[in-house]
Amino acid sequence: MSFPPIREELRGLQPYGAPQLDVPVQLNTNENPYGPSAACADDIAASVRAAALTLNRYPDREHVELRTALAAYLSRDTPHGVTTEQVWAANGSNEVMLQLLQAFGGPGRTAMSFAPTYSMYPEYARDTSTAWVQGRRADDFSLDLDAAREAIEREQPSVVLLPSPNNPTGTALPPEAVGLLCKAAGDGLVVVDEAYGEFRRAGVPSAVELLPTHRNLVVTRTMSKAFAAAGLRLGYLAADPAICDAIRVVRLPYHLSAVTQATALAALRHAPELLGKVDELRVERDATVSWLREQGLTVADSDANFALFGTFEDRHAVWQGLLDRGVLIREVGPDGWLRVSIGTPDEMMSFKQAMAETLQMEVGR
Ligand SMILES: *Cc1c(COP(=O)(O)O)cnc(C)c1O
């Protein structure tokens, strides 16, 4: 055995993560460009101060107050309401999904998704020794429902991971898809990752509505994107209370610090303000998609706060051309495509200008 004695399947692998570069215009990780207001920051500071006086004690392991606040927030998306017992939170929805695989995946079990999709999913499977099966999306990045149902029935995964809207393509699942796939999965879980749910276009429903109809449905959300709190690290899910109970078995004790809980509660009190920019970002997104199309590029329809566009013979050259002009986007997705997060109008102006210059240099088109 060589040193350090890392697991065989991890040897030589690089850690996941977009480059964190100090660049004027950062449009690479789908963050919200608008930070919290001074009033919100003051409320967070006061809440954290109160929590600081109790730091000699472990935090509420069940984070009941926070789950109750999150349930109230989610209840706005469904006529059926969401209860505290249906909600579970952790340090980012990445941790929520890892916990799901710790509890429901494992050796002898399979998790699956449909590519191109979020590149962290196979890592949760690998890290929990869960077999990983990946189906394909159609050429327009939609899900071929018949093919998906067949694949699920054939592979019998214990967990299906489906982002809606999908990252990196921005594609939302049609309303009928979730129910159909929940049925196909039998007793397996169908996790609809709604990290970008708040950005969906009018008329696209949230899967939260379907929770009472499908006991194997899990909907995950995050405060990292629409909520403008990526630095907080707070993700959560809504599901049958029995699913939350199963996660309790694998979660680390006191996994959500008192500081995190206090901060998240304060941020939730400012939800209208933090979410206030979502409408503006959707307008900016639609304008960005149109502009890219006017440049003769192909752009995937987007229900999220980013756009996937292409195609380039040498996408790295285009990415580099933008970076040279102070604009950082993401080299991700199928070959030839690039993804840009939606920023402020000023940032998008810089992006367009850098794009126009880069395209003029005829980089690999
Ligand atoms: C950004 C993102 C998340 C959120 O991750 P956090 O750990 O909550 O920051 C989850 N799923 C997808 C598909 C994402 O793009």
Same domain assignment for residues 209 and 248: yes
Judge whether 306 lies within some domain.
yes
Q: What is the pLDDT of residues 25-66, one digit of tens each?
A: 999 999 999 999 999 999 999 999 999 999 999 999 999 999
Nearest-atom index, ligand 1, CA of 222:
8
d(CA 279, CA 240): 31
Identify which of 30, 161, 167, 330 to mutate to test ligand 1's pocket (most ligand atoms within 8 A of the CB).
Answer: 167
Sign of CA dihedral 279, 83, 195, 214: negative
Same domain assignment for residues 285 and 261: no
Intervals of the chain under pLDDT 70: 362-365
Q: For the sheet containing 298-299, what is the strand order?
A: 298-299, 306-310, 338-341
3-state SS class at 199: helix
Q: Buried b vs exposed e over 59-79: b needs ≥16 C-beta within 10 Å?
A: beeebeebbebbbbbbeebbe
Judge whether 2 lies within some domain.
no
Q: How far is the CA of 195 from the centre of ligand 1 (A)?
A: 5
Same domain assignment for residues 24 and 55: no
Contacts of 249 by beta carbon, 8 Å cutoff, 6+ apart: 103
76, 69 contact by CB (below 8 A): no
Judge whether 3 lies within some domain.
no
d(CA 68, CA 92): 17
Q: Residue 337 is part of which domain span?
A: 8-30+277-364
Same domain assignment for residues 47 and 21: no
Which CATH number goes with the domain that contains 344?
A: 3.90.1150.10
299, 307 contact by CB (below 8 A): yes
Both structure tokens of 253? 């004790």
Query: Could you count the other beta carbons within 10 Å of the beta carbon of residue 265?
Result: 20
Q: How far is the CA of 194 from the centre of ligand 1 (A)?
A: 9
Identify which of 162, 224, 256, 330 to mutate to test ligand 1's pocket (most ligand atoms within 8 A of the CB).
Answer: 224
Q: What is the pLDDT of residues 122-137, one digit of tens each?
A: 999 999 999 999 999 9
166, 177 contact by CB (below 8 A): no
3-state SS class at 233: coil
Which CATH number goes with the domain that contains 262?
A: 3.40.640.10
Q: Residue 133 region, left (φ>0) first, then alpha (ψ -120 to 50), else beta?
A: beta
3-state SS class at 205: coil
Please provide residue 48's backbone torsions phi and psi, each rounded to the nearest 5 degrees: -70, -35
Q: What is the pLDDT of residue 362?
A: 58
Which residue CA neighbors atom 12 of ligand 1 most closely?
A: 195
Same domain assignment for residues 223 and 101: yes
Judge whether 50 lies within some domain.
yes
Same domain assignment for residues 23 and 85: no
Both structure tokens of 90? 């952790």
Judge whether 22 lies within some domain.
yes
Same domain assignment for residues 307 and 179: no
Nearest-atom index, ligand 1, CA of 193:
11
Judge whether 292 lies within some domain.
yes
Same domain assignment for residues 221 and 301: no
Identify which of 118, 233, 305 to mutate to test ligand 1's pocket (most ligand atoms within 8 A of the CB).
Answer: 118
Judge whether 336 lies within some domain.
yes
Boundary-marking domain end, from 250, 273, 296: 273
Q: Which residues are registered as beta bridge partners of 132?
A: 111
Boundary-marking domain end, from 273, 302, 322: 273
**Rg of the chain over all Cα atoms, to the nearest angstrom:** 21
Q: What is the pLDDT of residue 35?
A: 92
Residue type present at position 65: E
13 DSSP 8-state letter: P
Q: How far is the CA of 222 from the centre of ligand 1 (A)?
A: 7
d(CA 114, CA 151): 10
Judge whether 98 lies within some domain.
yes
Q: What is the pLDDT of residue 170?
A: 97
Same domain assignment for residues 147 and 253: yes
Nearest-atom index, ligand 1, CA of 29:
1
Q: Which residues are registered as beta bridge partners of 310?
A: 298
Same domain assignment for residues 155 and 235: yes
Same domain assignment for residues 194 and 76: yes
Same domain assignment for residues 255 and 310: no
- Strand ranges inside 19-107, DSSP E: 25-26, 87-90
Boundary-marking domain end, from 273, 298, 319: 273
Structurally, the chain folds into a number of domains equal to: 2
Nearest to 141 by CA among 102, 98, 170, 110: 170
d(CA 180, CA 200): 20
Ligand 1 lining (C-beta closer than 6 Å): 30, 92-94, 118, 163, 167, 193, 195, 222, 224-225, 230, 235
d(CA 32, CA 230): 8
d(CA 151, CA 145): 10
Residue type present at position 150: E
Nearest to 167 by CA among 217, 115, 223, 95: 115
d(CA 130, CA 112): 10
